[in-house]
Structure formats: C-alpha cells, structure tokens
Amino acid sequence: MSTRAFITGISGPRLEVAERDFIAAHRPWGFILFRRNVEDPAQVRSLIAQLRDAVGDADAPVLIDQEGGRVQRLRPPHWPLYPSGATFGQLYALDPALGMAAAKLSARLIADDLGKIGVSVDCLPLADVPVPGADDVIGDRAYGTDAVTVAAIARAVTDGLQDGGILPILKHIPGHGRATADSHESLPVVDTPRNQLEAVDFAAFRPLADLPMAMTGHVVFSAIDAVHPATTSAKMIDEVIRGFIGFQGLLMSDDVSMNALAGSIAARTRAIFAAGCDVVLYCNGKLEEMQDVASQTPELAGKALTRARAALAARKAPRPFDRAAARAELDALVARLGAAGA
C-alpha cells in the first residue's frame, strides 16, 4: 500500500476516532510521540499498535526524541533518566575511549527502553557544535564544542542505538549549534563565513553522512542562502547537505509547525518539498493542521521512496544485552567525572 511523505503526531495518549479516520485516509509514512502521548509502558504499546493498525502497516516507523538529559519524552517513574550529551563530551576530554563508551552504553540502554514499547526510531544523535553566545536550545545536549569530538560521540551513540535495533536520525543537519535563537520560537540567522561553517559546523556531519536518516535545522546560513532556512532552501540541501556533507539518506524536515518557518502550514509544507526534503515532520497533533500538511504532501515515490525503504532496511536485530551490567558500567563511567573534579 502506498503512503504519503509525512510523519505526524497526535493529540494525546489515546487515538481519537477522528485521528484514526485521518490516518486511514491519508496514510502517513510514520508517527512521532511526545510527552502528551505517554502515560506508562502498556499504554504506549497499545497506542503504537493502534497507530500501525490505522495506517495498515505493522512496521510503520514510530519516532521519539529520547536523548537523555533535558530532552526525554519517556521519564520516571516508568523509565530511567540518562546523562546529557555534554556528559559524554566531558568524559571524552578525560579520555576519548571513556566518552565514546559511555555514549554507546547510554544509547544501548535507551534502545532497550524503546524496543520494549514498540518505538523503532530515535531522533538521535545530534551533531550540532555550539559556540559561545549561541542560544541554549542546544546547550548541554551537544557532545562537545569541536567537530571531531562531536562526530566521534555521535558515531558511538549511533552504534548503541543500532545494536539495540533502533534506527537513528541525525540532527539538526547542517548544524544548529551556532544559532542565536530557538527555532521553536523564531528564525535563527547565522552570518558566519562559509569557510568557517565548513570547517566546524558542517564538518561534524560529514563523518556521519552514511546514517540512514537526517533531520534538517530551521536555520538561515546567510553566506549560502540569505533568505531561506536550510529546511526550505534548495541551495542548502543541494550544495551543503547532499553536496559538501555528502548525506544521501532520507532527509526529513524538523517540525513544520515551528515558528522559525513563515506562512501557513500548507505553504510551509509545499516549500519543504520544493527545496528537496523527502519527508515532512508535523508534531503538534492538531487535526486541522494535520489535514493542511496532508493536503500538500505527495505520495512517497521516486528517490524519496528508495531512500525511505533503504532507511528501514538499515534496522538491525537487537544484539544480546545485559541491561543491569550496562547500567552499572554507565554509572561507573559517569562517576569518574566526579572523581576527576569535572
């Protein structure tokens, strides 16, 4: 059965009749969950089963943002907390092997949590490189402040997720770390020269160009396209994301409902596809907006379909795993920061 090139959120912890009818009629490629959709493991498993049943695809991708630190949709008492990305960077500064080991362990534990409830995709890793004076929207979510550190830890996170049978999404390509505004609220404009962007911001993504999926950042890079953010810039997607970075996997937008983008939801959706994104992401779960997105979204076909199929085919079966031992090892590694006075 054909699907449409969008991913949608829904309004709450249970699938409403109108949402089910919408999903059956418009056939989104996948779904994304937020805190408003989560109560406990049994409820999440049931909701995911309902979503997949509604779209008629038992393997439809279900996404979540489960990074650790301050970005965790699954939280206590039903799910544990995990370290922030910056923790791995601090360990990496002590010893690169420690930082990468901790990052991989944390991601493998997260993958175990996700697999048990039916989530198949984590919006992780980040390859954003923050700079002094940037907005805190990235902040301690980042793995470091240089491209080499960030790329190395992002690869370890990727390995941990994939060992646990969870697909990674690389974000926020080609970089959100330099933005001086939160793109949820307004449009960030970065005026840094192109050569510096290529040496730092874009450079962190290049070693990760083989990942199956990536999410764009709603950021204007004026040295390349002074008008459009990367998400709606054909020049950024062609020259930087597909060109300089070399990413050839499935390219999805960040949330089309974020305030960084201008115009109606329908107009934003058209602009995202016109620029060269394969799939549009809609997060807010408002039925009228979902309908606006669907009205402007094509069937998943051509190169986008090929990339989508390749992305899903990249999912691996979980490898054997001792959860208690992994958690103990992660906690011991993090404890080294305290012992080192970090």
Tell me which DSSP letter residue 200 carries: T
Contact (CB, 8 A) for 180 and 134: yes
- Kindly write down the DSSP assignment for every residue of 129-172, as one continuous string: ---TT--TTTGGGSS-SSHHHHHHHHHHHHHHHHHTT-EE-EEE
Nearest to 295 by CA among 256, 258, 259: 256
User: Is the dihedral angle over the CA atoms 83, 85, 88, 90 positive or is it negative?
Assistant: negative
- Residue 270 half-sphere exposure toward CB, CA atoms < 13 A: 9
Q: What values do phi and psi take at 199, rounded to 5?
A: -80, -25
Name the catalytic one among 21, 40, 184, 238.
184
For the residues of 46-58, what is the DSSP string, one character each? Answer: HHHHHHHHHHT-T
Query: What is the spatial distance between Cα 105 and Cα 326, in angstroms, rounded to a whole number?
Result: 6
| Neighbouring-strand partners of residue 148 | none
184 is catalytic: yes
CA distance 237 to 247: 10
What is the enclosing helix (H) or strand (E) of 282?
strand 279-282
Q: Are 66 and 113 in contact (CB under 8 A)?
A: yes
Cα–Cα separations (whole angstroms), residue 246 to 104, 205, 209, 300, 330: 24, 9, 6, 22, 33
From 122, 128, 163, 254, active-site residue: 254
Q: CA-to-CA distance for 254 and 238, rounded, in angstroms?
A: 17
Cα angle for residues 313, 240, 67 (degrees, 5° grid):
55
Supply the residues annotated as catalytic: 184, 254
